[in-house]
Structure 1
């Protein structure tokens, strides 16, 4: 009886997962095609346009997550979310086990700038969103650092997943040095966010229809803020050494298998 219920529940969640992603895709298409392009034409002030776009994205994600919760696709809990309201000019750094990590975190961030692939600027549906939201394309490394520094100086918050891609099961946990580079060069503090999921779901090697037997439960913990001054040496030490040490420290904090 128990296993029959689990399989029926799994089949229901499979249907609702497909339905939820269809709704997400349709909503994204409508917003990117019409609403965000309209904002680009109507609102000339970059700051106001970015704020309104990011707020629209945040509430859209809230609605999507509410849909997934009501239909039983998943459940989630976000602790210490109030800490994100305390931050200005800060890097928000998180591990990246799942396709929904960006959606979950962005849904509770008062303002959120993201780094996106430069190739998305050639995408008809995405380029309007990127411009309206003030997202940063990762074209040239030096230009990327300048753009990030400019955002952080203005008090914006940048969400970064230093793994560069979703965590691959069974492979060593490894961070790229981009996040540490931005933080060190911009002298920006870092807010740590840890993401855990009870089931293997929407990972790098799993498609949306690979629904686990039990409902996935996400636990997102907004952790402490790291003062960047603790990682910068003013005694002439190499910038590369500071970046490498900070990357190693972040690896220890974000690795879900590391002893905390």
Structure 2
């Protein structure tokens, strides 16, 4: 099954006033995120060595979720963004689960974390050391991806403690739409922890903040993001390679179906 799901940019050229608003929305959006991160930075730096690990983790994750929720509300109110994330209301209510989704934009993790309590993220080492995000991520005890064995053990422990684990199985933002090849990480962790894998499909009206979209290129507004639910896959009972192929096929099929109504 094949389909092209790279969102298309509207062909009509907007007026100069609307283009000016799109530039303003970009500045406001990026500035708001930076301010939220900087406001929490000194508290995260101080609390990380002072608080017991479990208390620091709970506080850190609540702060990130509330901060990202405030940020997404700001984008909807002031920056002509529309986020349909209702599917996330039920995530995590039936127990620990591995969340997997396609990764078309830098906004993906922000949107999921803003709606789901007690999310444990697997993050790139560079982001864990980033000035804006690093201190908050370390306080929340997010998991580095630099050491595979430690990453899998840490993820398994988080799931055993009841967390929701967020993984983008492509490993990075999508470069070859609709989906880059999937890595076996989600399957390995789900098999070790014996938890199901919930699939999700992002559908962006335009590829804003995708791999080919420069950070300071204005968005095409309104920006509409829909998150569609996919199948809940049981933990692998056979070879992880087989599960990874099944997962990738499931994501590709779901992305095709998710795109059809919005671009009919």
Normalising by the smaller structure, the TM-score range is 0.7 to 0.9
C-alpha displacement of 1:5 = 5.6
C-alpha displacement of 1:259 = 5.8
Q: State how far apart, in whole Å, the 1-side matches of 2:111 and 2:128 are.
A: 24
Aligned to 1:236: none
Aligned to 1:8: 17
Aligned to 1:91: 98
C-alpha displacement of 1:258 = 4.3
Q: Cα distance 1:164–1:11, how it changes in 2: closer, same or farther (>3 A)? A: same
Q: State how far apart, in whole Å, the 2-side matches of 1:185 and 1:218 are.
A: 33
* Residue 56 (str. 1) matches residue 72 (str. 2): no
Q: Of the candidates 170, 173, 192, which is equivalent to residue 166 of structure 1?
A: 173
Structure 2 residues without counterparts, runs of 5 or longer: 1-11, 259-264
Q: Cα distance 1:6–1:85, how it changes in 2: closer, same or farther (>3 A)? A: farther
Q: Cα distance 1:84–1:211, how it changes in 2: closer, same or farther (>3 A)? A: same
Aligned to 2:39: 30
Paired residues of 1:114 and 1:135 also in contact (CA < 8 A):
yes
Aligned to 2:144: 137
* Residue 195 (str. 1) matches residue 202 (str. 2): yes
Aligned to 1:17: 26
Paired residues of 1:96 and 1:163 also in contact (CA < 8 A):
yes
Aligned to 1:239: none
SS of 1:48's partner is helix
Render the CA deviation track for 1:205-233: whole Å, top value 9, x for unaligned: 102333354422000124442221xx304
Paired residues of 1:13 and 1:71 also in contact (CA < 8 A):
no
Structure 1 residues without counterparts, runs of 5 or longer: 234-241
SS of 1:165's partner is coil
Q: Cα distance 1:124–1:200, how it changes in 2: closer, same or farther (>3 A)? A: closer
Q: State which drifts further: 34-43 or 188-197.
A: 34-43
Give the greater-gyration-radius structure (CA). 1
Q: State how far apart, in whole Å, the 2-side matches of 1:172 and 1:112 are.
A: 24
Paired residues of 1:6 and 1:214 also in contact (CA < 8 A):
no
- TM (norm. structure 1) is 0.85
C-alpha displacement of 1:97 = 0.7
SS of 1:86's partner is coil
- TM (norm. structure 2) is 0.84
SS of 1:168's partner is coil
Aligned to 1:209: 216
SS of 2:67's partner is helix
Aligned to 1:251: 248
Render the CA deviation track for 1:78-100: whole Å, top value 9, x for unaligned: 13222214142211111101110
* Residue 39 (str. 1) matches residue 44 (str. 2): no
Q: State which drifts further: 155-164 or 168-177.
A: 168-177
Paired residues of 1:192 and 1:223 also in contact (CA < 8 A):
yes
Count of residues in correspondence between the two structures: 246
Paired residues of 1:252 and 1:258 also in contact (CA < 8 A):
no
C-alpha displacement of 1:192 = 1.4
C-alpha displacement of 1:4 = 7.4
C-alpha displacement of 1:59 = 0.8
